[in-house]
Amino acid sequence: MEVPIRKAHCQVRPLSTVLCGGLTERLAVKPQMATILIIDDNSATRNMLRTALSHAGYTVLVAATGVDGLEQCQEHQIDLILTDILMPGTDGLTVIAILKRGRPHVKIIAMTGASDQKDFLNTAKVLGAHAIIQKPVDLSHMREMVKKELGEASETPSIKGTQNARIKLAERGKMGGQHR
């Protein structure tokens, strides 16, 4: 049964909860998700990352070259970039250096599958990459890195946080029973 909601008696609160005269309803409204740009010359990697991050609710753009990625950055508001390091033409290290000069606020995760990965990944960090990851990419680890770089909370609450919440609920229950 659908109940009409009157604006005069409702308040929109954080976490998409609507309060209406004692009736609390959880709305299925997601906050605006970040826009992520994937720059990788390997189409299989691009498609795998695009699918995983799109399913996680992000807006995902892709580029096959460093030049295409830089053009996408000019055309769109990008929150996070995942860039391969070794690509033909303008490589990922060059992309990172250019972006950090022109858009220092953009978060960058550098990735590579090169045999001498550590040197490339360390150079990416020095140039301004916020995080580095080795290929092949573990998708769950990548999603957590993306959340961390975007400042989003992890899906799994900490054990300490869960214990604290249980203690607070127990205390409320005790106090509620005493005041009735």
pLDDT in tens, the chain (180 residues): 554 444 444 444 444 444 444 444 444 444 568 999 999 999 999 999 999 999 999 999 999 999 999 999 999 999 999 999 999 999 999 999 999 999 989 999 999 887 777 788 889 999 999 999 988 999 999 999 999 999 986 554 434 444 444 544 555 555 454 444
The C-alpha atoms of residue 84 and residue 132 are separated, in whole angstroms, by 10
Task: Spell out the domain ranges in the chain.
Answer: 1-30, 35-150
Q: Which fold has domain 35-150?
A: Rossmann fold (3.40.50)
Structure tokens given for 31: 């906050």
Measuring CA to CA, how many Å separate 10 from each of 6, 26, 29, 110, 175? 6, 13, 16, 46, 29
Structure tokens given for 85: 């390091």
Running DSSP on this structure, what letter comes out for residue 15?
A: G
Structure tokens given for 91: 């490589």
Query: What confidence score (pLDDT) does residue 119 get?
Result: 86
